Amino acid sequence: MKISNIGKHFRTITQHKMVVMRECFKLGLYRQGLLHDLSKYSISEFWSGVKYYQGNRSPNAAEREQKGYSAAWLHHKGRNKHHFEYWIDFSNDPERRLVGNKMPLRYVIEMVCDRIAACKVYRGESYDSGAPWEYYAFTRPYITPVLHPQTQALLEKLLRMLKEEGEEKTFSYIRRLLKKGKY
């Protein structure tokens, strides 16, 4: 573990948190913006992030490559409702086993803000509004089997809208959705 990674990792997660907070505030999700990803500062997540820090992608990916799993990610997803993995549970239908449950609207919106922020932080100057869709499209084959169909439809609609129409129109649409309170 490099000592210099402590400051770099702290700056990266704090920058990410601040971008999510700014995006959530634009949408009126003040509490979620303030509380977003606080578990990243916990001992189990922070020190793993320092150890596997690379600066251009999540340290969880590097930990997963080395160990076959990411203990930091397992900790993180179990404490943060904006991750669809938080909502995976056993089905009452024995044929289906594990299923993704429909996420509440405010957490889907926070997930969109989270994806925007991750792309802005990791891509820096090369970020454009299509980046969150591109990253989602890359991971789509792995996540759609366990993502609730309605959650998936909304997530895809918002990420496509962001890519095709930009942040201002997408956020305006999201604010209207939040006023309705459902999807």
pTM: 0.93
How high is the pLDDT of residue 1? 61
Task: For residues 76 and 130, give the distance between their C-alpha atoms in angstroms, rounded to a whole number.
Answer: 26
Q: Chunk the chain into consecutive blocks of 10 residues (it has 183) and report each block's average pLDDT, rounded to whole numbers.
A: 86 97 98 98 96 91 96 97 96 88 98 97 94 96 93 98 98 97 91
Task: For residues 130 and 163, give the distance between their C-alpha atoms in angstroms, rounded to a whole number.
Answer: 4
How high is the pLDDT of residue 46? 97
Residue 49 burial (C-beta neighbours within 10 Å; 0-12, 13-18, 19+): buried
Q: Contact 86/77 with Cβ under 8 angstroms?
A: yes
Sketch the domain layout of the chain as residue ranges. Answer: 4-180
Q: Coil, strand, or helix at residue 27?
A: coil
Q: Coil, strand, or helix at residue 149?
A: helix
How high is the pLDDT of residue 27? 98
Alpha-helix residue ranges (DSSP H) falling in 27-70: 30-35, 43-51, 59-67
